[in-house]
Amino acid sequence: MNKTILVTGGTGYIGSHTVVALQEKGYKVIIADNLANSEKEVIYNIEKISHVLPQFEPIDLANEQACEALFNKYSINAVIHFAAYKYVNESVNNPLRYYKNNLISLLNVLNEMKKHNICNIVFSSSCTVYGTPDTLPVTETSPVKKSMSPYGNTKQVAEEILEDNCKADRHLKVISLRYFNPIGAHPSIKIGETAKGIPQNLLPYLTQTVIGKREFLSVFGNDYNTPDGTCIRDYIHVMDLAYAHVCAIERMLHMGSDINYEVFNVGTGKGYSVLEIIQTFEKVTGMKVNFQFKGRREGDIAQIWADTSLANKVLKWEALYALEDMLLSAWKWEKELAKS
C-alpha cells in the first residue's frame, strides 16, 4: 500500500514542486494550505504534470480545530511541513504575524501527530538560522546565531521545538532541511514561483522587471564586503530542493536512522552575487535587466553558501541543475505567466 504524506503549504512554491516529486515516486499526497500566498489552481497544474490530482484541504493550520479535523479525516504516514510565511523584510515590519502563523501551525501539527501516533516529519527550515556566519561555507555544525529577522527566528525556535520533542519522544523522527535560495521552475513550466503582490525574492522581481511589470530591479546594497559589493547567496533549483524532501522521507520510512533528529543543508555549495545573477540571466536569455542600487535592506546578511557534503553522503542526494538552467526556467515561467 502506498504511503500517505501530508504536505502542509503544498500549493506554495517549494511545496507544489515537492508534491510532484512525491507523486512521481508513488506516494499519495494530501495538501493542506490556506492559500495565503498561492492559488488553488496549482493542484490542477500538478495533475497535468504527474497525472494525479492531489487531495486538497483549504485550511489554516494555525486554527487548532481545523488542524484537528484534518488529522481525524486521514490516515497519514508522514508530514512535510512547509506552511509558513517566508519573507525576511515583511517579517521585520510585521513580526507578530510571523510568530503567530509560523509557530502555532507547527505546534498544532505536532500535537495532532502525537495524538495519532504519526512519527515522521520533515521540516522546512532555512539557512537564516546561521545568521552572519563566521566561516564559509556553513556546515550543519556551524553555530546557530541570533537571527537578523523575525522570520529567521521562527525557524530557529521551530528547530528547538522539534529537537526538544525528539528528546522527549524517542519514536518521533525529524529531519530539518535548511534551505538556501530556491529559484527556477518545473521543466514542464506548469508550476513555478508566483508571489502575491510585490515579490520579496530576487528572481521573481528580476523576471517581472524584464517582462515589463516593474520599472526596475532594486539591488539592495553595493557596499558589502564581497568582490562586487552585492550580497552573495547559494541558489538552488527548486526541483533539486524538492527531491531532497523525497530523499528525507525515504530515509525515515524505509532506511531509518539511529538518530531521531537530523539536520541537513540543502544548497549547491556555490555562492553567486546579485550582480552575477543579473549578468548570467542576461547571458542565457539575451534580455537586458534594468536595475538600480538602493540602500541595504534590514535583515539581510552579506554572504552565505552551503557545505552540502552531509546531505550528499547521508541522504544520497545532490543538486544537479546548473545556474544557467535555473535562470532560464525562471524566465520561461515568467513568460508563461504573462500569457494568462
Among all residues, which ones are annotated catalytic?
A: 151
Nearest partner of 82 among 158, 12, 159, judged by Cα: 12
List the Cα angle 119/122/124 in 5-degree steps. Answer: 145
Strand partners of residue 237: 183
What is the distance between the alpha carbons of residues 330 and 237, in angstroms, rounded to a whole number?
10
What is the distance between the alpha carbons of residues 175 and 262, in angstroms, rounded to a whole number?
5
What is the distance between the alpha carbons of residues 56 and 47, in angstroms, rounded to a whole number?
12
- Say if residues 28 and 53 touch (Cβ distance below 8 Å): no
The b/e string for 102-116 (b: 16+ C-beta within 10 A; e otherwise) is: bbbbbbbbbebbeee
- Say if residues 72 and 59 touch (Cβ distance below 8 Å): no
- Say if residues 31 and 40 touch (Cβ distance below 8 Å): no
CB burial class (10 A; 0-12, 13-18, 19+) of residue 23?
A: buried
Q: Which residues contact 41 (CB under 8 A, 6 or more apart)?
A: none
The CA-based diameter of the chain, rounded to the nearest angstrom, is 56
Pairing of strands 272-273, 232-233: antiparallel
What is the distance between the alpha carbons of residues 223 and 135, in angstroms, rounded to a whole number?
20
For 266, the grid coordinates are 540543502
Nearest partner of 30 among 46, 39, 38, judged by Cα: 46
Alpha helices in the chain, H assignment, sequence order: 13-24, 42-50, 64-73, 88-93, 95-115, 150-168, 202-211, 238-250, 274-285, 309-314, 323-339
